[in-house]
Amino acid sequence: MENKSQPGVVYAKKLAAVCGLFCPSCTLYIGTQEDPERLKFLAAALKLPVEEVRCEGCRSTGARSFFCRENCKMYKCAADKGVDFCGSCPDYPCQELKDFQCAMPHRLELWKSQERIRAAGPEKWYAEMLEHYACPSCGAINSAYDIQCRKCGAEPGCAYVAGHKDEIIRRLGNMQ
């Protein structure tokens, strides 16, 4: 479905996670779509076969990463409750989503995403996320962990990183 507010931007529902994550900015999705070396590196770091980390998006009928496939409780919950996004649920924000949000740096803006989806609609939010994760220099979509653009090396890699760089680095340092 084309986004009428931003012609040329096609909303891909399978890439809009029910929790508010934006699949094109996922490092596993980026690796699956265009960077096999990244995917191999991530698989080795996670001690999993490459096929287990491949992901084509939250709502994809194809490959979904091991985490999204086996550990995500929000996807099934949203389906059971008949809602497209957690922010539409009468129990929002539930404890499961709160725990999920605070666990990793790429989830810092889930509340903001859910609010934007409710206020502007998923199509407009999707178009805004394409801009939010795009490198300001070359336009490549980067992950929350790409401090520098993965294509041109510009820093910050995207507006998300610009807004959360210190927190991303702090949290990643605490995980080692």
**Per-residue pLDDT at 75:** 93
- Give the Cα separation of 169 and 171 in Å (integer): 6
0.85 cut: is pTM over it? yes
Is the pLDDT at 140 greater than 80? The verdict is yes
Supply the DSSP string of the chain, one letter for each residue.
Answer: -B-TTSTTPBP-GGGB-TTS-BGGG-HHHHHHHH-HHHHHHHHHHHTS-HHHH--S-TT-SS---HIIIII-HHHHHHHHHT-SSGGGSTTPSPHHHHHHHTTSGGGTTHHHHHHHHHHH-HHHHHHHHHHHTB-TTT--B--TT-SS-TTT--SSSSHHHHHHHHHHHHHHHHH-
Arithmetic mean of pLDDT over the chain? 92
Residue 169 has pLDDT above 70, yes or no: yes
Dump pLDDT digits (tens) for 4-54.
445 567 889 999 999 999 999 999 999 999 999 999 999 999 999 999 999
Q: What is the pLDDT of residue 1?
A: 58
Instruction: Give pLDDT tens digits for 54-70.
Output: 999 999 888 999 888 88
Contact 133, 25 (CB under 8 A): yes
Instruction: Give per-residue pLDDT as tens, 96-122.
Output: 999 999 999 999 999 999 999 999 999
For the chain, percent of residues with pLDDT exceeding 90: 84
Dist. CA 86–CA 128, nearest whole Å? 19
Contact 151, 27 (CB under 8 A): no
Mean pLDDT of 116-129: 97
